[in-house]
Amino acid sequence: MVTPADEDPGTAFRSAVHAALLDLPLPGGGRTRERFQRFVELGRADLTLARLGEGHADALAILTELDATIDPGWHREPWGVWAAAPASVTATQEGDRWRLTGHRPWCSGAGLLARALVTATAGDGVRLFAIDVDAAGVTPLADTWPAVGMAASDSRTVSFDGVTALPVGGPGSYTARPGFWHGGLGVAACWYGGAVGVADTLYDAARHRRLNPHAMAHLGAVDAVLTAARAVLFAAADQIDANPTGDADRLAHQVRATVEAAATTVVDRVGRALGAGPLCQDAHHARRVADLTVYLRQSHAEADLARLGELVAAVGDPGW
């Protein structure tokens, strides 16, 4: 699915949801390669569309894994997952009703979604809740995303003022389920697709004009890192299908680190090969680079690598 030239990513996202184009195979169900491939395609076409599409598909997987029943038409509405900084929103129970209060940053699709899954801190721990985005008390705040990168994703801080919410699962169940790390791998598939989209500019240049030997060396290096990252990504998909309920913490950290490094290399080498021209004269390429730069920072960099190191040190045989 490619974003039409005359259609913005938000509109394309909503159209894709309504047409069931984002009803993807669930992770661990035997078709995880197909799921990841769709994320790669979305990322290559448009990273904003990928970000929104991955969030919607992840929400559907979470609802299924936690046996949540919302209503018969829930999968035909655009969903997102607003799970950053759980302590920024609190949940209080009044009889059989839950209410959310606080300010949640990093809410992608703030003005585009119909519903969202929101983490919040309750008296018994961190819980996950489903909310209607147009419900009373839900207010996406203006001027909370001044960045150029991922600007079209409508990512904003959202204010919750006593918002009625439906609990999904129990305390801690959002992060405890095996699919939590499967979702993190889906994000890596989007990063990979975005990196391929950036690399396309160098590839197209090499096909249509004679590049100097240095630029061709950069193209060779880009091909090598993308080939390696793709192999790691889809091998992980097979591992998930072979062991869908296994602990995928280390696997997710391995793949995300590999793809992040590859994507960072691609951005650097394409820029070094082609200079400032595409960044200054090709709006599509410039937006790709800006979007990917921001999206990659969903990784926690050295903190994630430190966690991976801890996981490696804890096993008897790292399997190298």
Question: How many residues belong to the chain?
Answer: 320
Q: How many CB atoms lie within 10 A of CB 310?
A: 12
CA–CA dist 100, 297 (Å, integer): 27
- Beta 89-94 vs 97-107: how paired, if at all? antiparallel
CA distances from 261 to 6, 198, 214, 301 (A): 33, 14, 21, 10
pLDDT per residue rounded down to tens, the chain (320 residues): 444 445 788 899 999 999 989 999 999 999 999 999 999 999 999 999 999 999 999 999 999 999 987 665 677 899 999 999 999 999 999 988 999 999 999 999 999 999 999 999 999 999 999 999 999 999 999 999 999 999 999 999 999 999 999 999 999 999 999 899 999 999 999 999 999 999 999 999 999 999 999 999 999 999 999 999 999 999 999 999 999 999 999 999 999 999 999 999 999 999 999 999 999 999 999 999 999 999 999 999 999 999 999 999 999 899 99
CA–CA dist 152, 8 (Å, integer): 8
E strand or H helix that includes residue 167: strand 156-168
The amino acid sitting at 259 is V
Which residues lie below 8 Å from residue 161, measured CB to CB, with a gap of 6+?
101, 137, 139
